[in-house]
Amino acid sequence: MNQKVSASLKDALVGEMSNLRAFAVSLCGDKERADDLVQETLYKAWNHLDSFREGTNLKAWLFTILRNTYFSERRKRRREVEDADGTYAAKLSTQPEQHGHMDLQDFREALAELPDDQREALILVGAAGFSYEEAAEISDCAIGTIKSRVNRARNRLGESLGASGEEFDKGLASALASAGPGGR
């Protein structure tokens, strides 16, 4: 079907792969599943490259395919297993990612406990570098919806990290004291 994919488009595809993987891992919290998602996304992208207009935002296009794949699988799974959320959360808490630094581990777990839509919005805006507008297009919702999801996600993360975060407060206070007032 797409025998003649331009070399530059293929290079661009390869160039976005690392970001796409990082998005998948952050979104689903499970590296193996994330790589399956990326694989599926690449298949779909390749087979629909004719619907991609070269010169437009390839990264956003790929992220859209990946998140649509993820969410449709989640919906399917939810129909199959009634407490999909419960089993998913349990799986995450018993099988933490092994590759991470320990100081990121708590954060990853807190992130995994967010509702899907909030986690997605936070990653898109806070880590993947998309504007609110781009994130809204990727998630197919209004900009205001993205903003409120990001806010709710932040507040929730703040609660779960802050609740166990007396150490963090102390560490941060001393870091701030040594860094001086120049910061943000």
Partner 1 sequence: MDLSAGNASGDASNDAPGKVAGHGKAAADDKRGLSSDLQGHIGRQLRAAFDEVAREPIPDRFLQLLKDLEESGSKK
- Binding-site ranges for partner 1 (CB under 8 A): 1-3, 5, 10, 13-14, 17-19, 21-23, 25-26, 35, 38-39, 42-43, 46-47, 99-101, 104, 107-108, 111, 122-123, 126-128, 151, 154-155, 157-159, 161-163, 165-166, 168-170, 172-173, 176-177, 180-184
Please report how close the Cβ of residue 121 comes to partner 1 at its closest, in angstroms.
12
Q: Which of 66, 62, 64, 53 is nearest to 6 (CA)?
A: 53
Please report how close the Cβ of residue 82 comes to partner 1 at its closest, in angstroms.
30
Phi, psi of 146 (to 5 degrees): -60, -45
Closer to partner 1 by CB, 47 or 87: give it: 47
Please report how close the Cβ of residue 167 comes to partner 1 at its closest, in angstroms.
11
Please report how close the Cβ of residue 177 comes to partner 1 at its closest, in angstroms.
6
Closer to partner 1 by CB, 33 or 108: give it: 108
CA atoms of 18 and 16, how far apart (whole Å): 6
Please report how close the Cβ of residue 159 comes to partner 1 at its closest, in angstroms.
7
Closer to partner 1 by CB, 84 or 107: give it: 107
- Give the tokens for residue 37: 């998602």
Closer to partner 1 by CB, 127 or 142: give it: 127
Query: CB of 34 within 8 A of CB of 27?
Result: yes
